Structure 1
Amino acid sequence: MLQIDALPAFSDNYIWLLQDTTHKRCAVVDPGDAAPVLAWLARHPDWTLSDILVTHHHFDHVGGVAQLHGHTNAKVWGPALEDIPARQVALNDNDQIEILGLKFDVLLVPGHTLGHIAYYHADPSAPLLLCGDTLFAAGCGRLFEGTPEQMHLSLSRLAALPGHTGVYCTHEYTLSNLRFAQAVEPNNPDIAARVTQVTEWRAEGRISLPSTIALELLTNPFLRVNETSVKEKADEWNSRDNDSPGAVFASLRSWKDKF
């Protein structure tokens, strides 16, 4: 049985802890800091860290990898197209791997970085997506290396996953992303309802994740570039007719960068 918890790191990162409760073994995703993981392992001395999954090379996602690998000898998986500390298995698009007895598909999703990957577990009843900094709750990552067209295609690929897929991204950006979503779609009732809910959660000290693909399709402007109202706002922002979904995305991303 798989249990997933978030280990907070830095100011707004989450290190996802995947736990095989039957065999008391676990895996972590994007451990930018080793300390929260080592602290959890110290509190659970009968558990074994078997795997470290990395989505991309940014320091807040890989800073603790080498230390954890040295301490636990956990296997390090990461994108083939990026330089990942202590990586043992280089992963390419459409690879399939097994973690904690579960199969994960590797999806290349460039945009935030050029070699960024996501991990997708296609369980019929509870699929899950470990998407790093590509898809956020109500938002998406900045384009540090890729083009708007690359990111739009990457997000379109993730948006096509089953609606009940759990979305496990790695930052607590939801409220700020929702403020932008409301600027794009001020009359969207799903966004308004989500703002209310997430505001309550954060006031109670609860995290806003995971999301789902279905919820993102209702409230994430970067997945809603085919909506007429979203296109109109994008056109208004950059004073042009954005004549393709990719162009609408590029306008929205430019707007969000300055929001």
Structure 2
Amino acid sequence: MSKNDMDTFLNQQAEKLKNLEAIPQKLDGLESYPLSASQCLYIHNFQTKSISFQKGVSEFLGYSQDEFNSQLVNSFFHPQDKAIVSRLIQASVSYAIENKFSQDAHLSLTYRIRKKNGEYIKILRQSKVFEADKDGHLVSNFSLLTDISYMDTSNCVEWNFDANYLDQAAFKRYVGHQYENFFSARQFEVIKGITEGLNSKEIADLLFISRHTVDTHRKNILKKARCKNSVELISFCKKNGLI
């Protein structure tokens, strides 16, 4: 699946989740929520830092109810995806907690997670506000995990976050803040050159370093950002508020 196709898919799924009226607003109503064999759901309470409800987890991922806790949910990412996914989740949750978002606020993420048997699968995580306090701030969210390994074999992490009255520019700056120290100062200089359309030799001349050093930086930058080429890297940087 190409990056454009994945963006389209995420937007479609986000719209479905945004318009989904079937999510019960009480925990006992979730018992009857329909799931396929390749899905599970849970409620993450950010005040108590606990998983207050889960369904289909043991069947889908193999974890027992006690094993599938807040700590696991925040750590069972693929090592190569962890740095990016952790930042995106932290940004969206923190932003939602600090701002008043209604039930329409939703996050869609694709990344790899580890099942109990050690197997990594690519999943689509769709999260919505489940409970807010009297002031409208996020208390807990609903997350639906779906195995999409059959349709997405890439290692790219993709995301979509939206809500009514969301200032996308402000949110991207918020996400960008989460990436402090993700790239080194020198890597940011190389990225700046790439976004300006410079080739490796031109970047090397500008920074007074060798072309080989620039090529090494480019390779490491692409690997860290989970991108295949400069076009994807520029898209990644724009989407994540880095440029």
Q: Fold match, TM over 0.5?
A: no
- How would you bin the TM-score normalised by the shorter chain? under 0.3
Richer in strand (by share): 1
Richer in helix (by share): 2
Larger Rg: 2
Structure 2 length normalisation: TM-score? 0.27
Structure 1 length normalisation: TM-score? 0.26
